[in-house]
């Protein structure tokens, strides 16, 4: 009984990929905090997306009071900019650049810094046409949504990778 070559190659590829430590990037985040408070309005897009991402793992609980939280997420800057990227010979806009500049930090319930200020800068280019205004507006909305999704994924990855400072231990400036 001979195994087909395709099956042997598929098993061999699976063994190689599993052996090298390859893992699909998912929404799992192993945050080093048991409870987290997000200091943003209830309707803020970033807050809603963060709650979804962090809630999907089930390990970190989002609380409604900063005093009950082990860590408090604070937004320092949220700048969304739409600039003209190029114009045609008649002076009409043909491309825009969408930019998202976001800064955040994490503090404990007493206001001591756990994770210093982090900055995330995202940009997307979008073509524009006067004849397709409605379609281009919808495309722009989708790009902003994609940027929000990317932003929150980067925030969660950074918070899960960065080792928090222990606020009880004083650092030596030597």
Q: Is 7 contained in some domain? A: no
Query: Any idea which of 57-61, 66-70, 86-90, 102-106 has the lowest mean pLDDT?
Result: 57-61
Q: Can you give the CATH number for the domain in which 113 is found? A: 3.30.160.150
Q: pTM for this one?
A: 0.74
Domain that holds residue 106: 26-161
Q: Is 21 contained in some domain? A: no
Give me the pLDDT at residue 162, please: 67
C-alpha span between 62 and 41 (Å, rounded): 14
C-alpha span between 108 and 129 (Å, rounded): 48
Q: Is 78 contained in some domain? A: yes
Q: Is 1 contained in some domain? A: no
C-alpha span between 25 and 47 (Å, rounded): 22
Q: Which conformational region is residue 54 in: left (phi greater than 0), alpha (psi within -120 to 50 degrees), or beta?
A: alpha
Give me the pLDDT at residue 15, please: 78
Q: Is 172 contained in some domain? A: no
pLDDT tens digit string along 130-165?
Answer: 889 999 999 999 999 999 999 999 999 888 876 666
What is the total count of domains within the chain?
A: 1
Q: Is 55 contained in some domain? A: yes
Give me the pLDDT at residue 174, please: 42
């Amino acid at each position: 009984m001979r195994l087909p070559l395709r099956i042997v190659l598929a098993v061999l590829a699976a063994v190689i990929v599993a052996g090298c430590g390859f893992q699909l990037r998912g929404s799992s985040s192993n945050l080093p905090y048991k409870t987290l408070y997000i200091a943003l309005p209830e309707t803020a897009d970033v807050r809603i997306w963060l709650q979804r991402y962090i809630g999907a793992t089930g390990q970190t609980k989002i609380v409604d009071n900063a005093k009950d939280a082990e860590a408090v997420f604070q937004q320092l800057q949220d700048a969304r900019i739409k600039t003209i990227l190029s114009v045609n010979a008649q002076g009409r806009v043909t491309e825009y650049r969408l930019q998202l500049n976001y800064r955040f930090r994490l503090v404990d319930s007493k206001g001591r810094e756990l994770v210093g200020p982090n900055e995330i800068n995202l940009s997307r280019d979008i073509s524009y046409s006067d004849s397709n205004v409605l379609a281009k507006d919808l495309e722009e909305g989708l790009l902003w949504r994609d940027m929000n999704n990317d932003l929150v994924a980067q925030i969660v990855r950074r918070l899960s990778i960065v080792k928090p400072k222990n606020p009880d231990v004083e650092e030596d400036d030597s």
